[in-house]
């Protein structure tokens, strides 16, 4: 249940941001999750829905996950390819001299928070 | 009346921990303390290897050990009994990894006057690799019975470790473990990694591992 540790991290961070910004509550969180980040989105969502009940501001928050495709760059031929399909070895030239460009991120992109309406200025 | 506003963050979940780990690492460097984060699967023989390694190094360095487990203090007791060095147990309270804050708490509990500290992370190849503990050296252990394809299955822990130790080489005759292929897989993940194969049980090649630590500690 490796997702739970990361979820706890996320809800604690967002709860603090909501408090710091004097929000009433958090309605939604958008996260970017890389395809090769080792997070299983379904498990992550389950863990989130469990964890949010134990927070101050996130009790009604909805989680949206944007999945980011894993792309690997080959130093030998300069091509890029889809990581989940070919792994470490470049399908264009066969070289293992490659590195991950994107797809391992776990990012809190934004949160939508509910505030008390400010008085309209005269 | 209420209104909804979007707060833009674009912040990695690991960012705060990474920053705290970096601070801890530089503090340790100033104090000339080497913290070794030991990662592996459950049952890879981490504790047995550490006992052998500590017994070989304890006359040259002031060693301390932090054993991280979800529960129980079995490992800390074993290490203390078999090596005599200062040893504490950290409980992660159900979490599958240690983070920089938990490591810092453990270090203050362990006390001053040490210059080589081993942190035996929770037996798990996934989460510990994602959470930087602030360690000076990241070390991964892979035992022969686990199979030589582990570096392909758990890339991150091998990418992040400067030392990979293949243990239980005394069991090689009983398993289809291709040592050359294993070393090659580790090099694919991390071309700079040092790879040392040992048996803590028979003591085979333990000298090379002990010397690696003596050399690495002299670089501080």
Question: Does residue B3 lie within any of the structural domains?
Answer: no
Determine how β-strand A80-82 pairs with β-strand A71-74: antiparallel
Query: What are chain A's domains?
Result: 2-69+103-114 (3.30.2320.80)
Instruction: Give residues with Cβ within 8 angstroms of A59, minimum separation 6.
Output: A25, A52, A53
- Phi, psi of A16, rounded to the nearest 5 degrees: -70, -40
**What local confidence, expressed as pLDDT, does residue A122 receive?**
46
Tokens of A76: 């030998």
Chain A residues whose CB is inside 8 A of the B127 CB are 2, 5
Question: Does residue B11 lie within any of the structural domains?
Answer: no
Note down pLDDT in tens along chain B; length 220 residues. Answer: 889 999 999 999 999 899 999 999 999 999 999 999 999 998 898 889 999 999 999 999 999 999 887 766 777 788 888 999 999 988 777 777 888 999 999 999 999 999 999 999 988 888 888 899 999 999 999 999 999 999 988 888 999 999 999 999 999 999 999 999 999 999 988 999 999 999 999 999 999 999 999 999 998 6
ipTM reported for the complex, 2 dp:
0.82
**What local confidence, expressed as pLDDT, does residue B76 receive?**
79
Nearest residue of chain A to residue B98 (CA atoms): A5
Chain A residues whose CB is inside 8 A of the B5 CB are 112-113, 115
Cα-Cα end-to-end distance for chain A: 54
Cα(B190)–Cα(B36) distance, integer angstroms: 18
Q: What is the 8-class DSSP label of residue B13?
A: T
Domain, as residue range, for B157: 17-218
Chain B residues whose CB is inside 8 A of the A107 CB are 10-13
Whether the Cβ atoms of residue B160 and residue B129 lie closer than 8 Å to each other: yes
Question: Does residue B9 lie within any of the structural domains?
Answer: no
For residue A1, name the pLDDT band (cuts at 50, 70, 90).
low
CATH of the domain at B24: 3.40.50.300
Question: Does residue B6 lie within any of the structural domains?
Answer: no
Tokens of B205: 């090649």
* Closest C-alpha to A15, from A42, A37, A48, A45: A48
Q: How many domains does chain B have?
A: 1
């Amino acid at each position: 249940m490796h997702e739970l540790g990361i979820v706890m991290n996320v809800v604690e961070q967002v709860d603090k941001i909501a408090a710091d910004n004097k929000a009433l509550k958090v309605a939604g969180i958008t996260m970017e999750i890389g395809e090769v980040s080792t997070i299983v989105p379904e498990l992550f969502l389950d863990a989130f829905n469990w964890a949010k009940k134990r927070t101050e501001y996130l009790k009604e928050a909805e989680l949206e996950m944007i999945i980011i495709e894993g792309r690997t760059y080959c130093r030998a031929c300069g091509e890029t390819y889809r990581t989940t399909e070919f792994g470490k070895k470049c399908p264009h030239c066969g070289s293992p001299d490659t590195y991950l460009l994107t797809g391992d991120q776990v990012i809190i992109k934004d949160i939508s928070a509910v505030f008390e309406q400010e008085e309209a200025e005269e | 009346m209420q209104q909804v506003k979007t707060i833009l963050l674009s912040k990695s979940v690991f960012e705060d921990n990474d920053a705290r780990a970096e601070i801890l690492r530089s503090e340790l460097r100033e104090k000339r303390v080497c913290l070794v984060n030991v990662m592996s699967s459950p049952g890879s023989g981490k504790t047995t290897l550490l006992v052998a390694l500590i017994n070989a190094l304890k006359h040259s360095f002031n060693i301390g050990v932090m054993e991280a487990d979800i529960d129980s203090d079995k490992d800390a007791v074993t290490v203390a009994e078999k090596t005599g060095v200062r040893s504490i147990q950290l409980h992660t309270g159900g979490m599958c990894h240690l983070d920089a804050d938990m490591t810092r708490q453990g270090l203050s509990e362990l006390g001053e006057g040490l210059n080589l500290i081993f942190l035996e992370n929770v037996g798990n190849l996934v989460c510990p690799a994602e959470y930087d503990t602030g360690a000076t050296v990241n070390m991964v252990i892979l035992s022969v019975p686990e199979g030589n394809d582990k570096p392909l299955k758990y890339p991150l822990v091998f990418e992040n470790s400067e030392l990979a130790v293949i243990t239980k080489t005394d069991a090689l005759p009983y398993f289809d473990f291709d040592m050359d292929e294993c070393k090659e897989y580790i090099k694919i993940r991390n071309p700079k990694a040092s790879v040392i194969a040992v048996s803590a049980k028979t003591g085979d090649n333990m000298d090379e591992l002990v010397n690696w630590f003596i050399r690495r500690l002299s670089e501080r």
